[in-house]
Amino acid sequence: MARVGILTGGGDCPGLNPVIRGVVRKGLLLGYEIVGIKNGWKGLVENETVPLDLESVSGILSKGGTILGTSRTNPYKKEGDAQKVKDNFKKIGLDALIAVGGEDTLGVANKLAKEGLNIVGVPKTIDNDLSATDYTFGFDTAINIAMECIDRLRTTAESHHRIMVVEVMGRHAGWIAIESGIAGGADVILIPEKPIDIEEVCEILKKKHSRGKIFSIVTVAEGAQFKEGQMVLQEQKLDAFGHVRLGGIADTLAEEIEKRTGYETRVSVLGHIQRGGTPTAFDRILGTRFGVKAIGLVKDRKFGRMVALSGTKIIDVALDEAVKALKTVDMELYETAAVFFG
Active site residue ranges: 127
Residues near 213 by beta carbon (within 8 Å), at least 6 away in sequence: none
196/190 Cα distance (integer angstroms): 7
Instruction: Enumerate helices (H) and strands (E) in the chain, giving the number of each.
Output: 12, 13
- CA dihedral in degrees (137, 322, 226, 170; nearest 10)? 20
Residues near 133 by beta carbon (within 8 Å), at least 6 away in sequence: 123, 306, 307, 308, 309, 310, 317, 322
- CA dihedral in degrees (67, 68, 73, 78; nearest 10)? 160
Assess contact for 70 and 48: CB atoms under 8 A.
Answer: no
Cα distances from 201 to residues 154, 190, 198, 255, 261, in angstroms, run 18, 9, 5, 13, 10
- CA dihedral in degrees (87, 92, 98, 104; nearest 10)? -40
Assess contact for 98 and 51: CB atoms under 8 A.
Answer: no
100/194 Cα distance (integer angstroms): 30
Assess contact for 52 and 58: CB atoms under 8 A.
Answer: no
Nearest residue to 194 via CA among 233, 228, 222, 225: 225
| C-beta neighbour count of 269 within 10 angstroms | 18
Nearest residue to 32 via CA among 269, 325, 292: 292
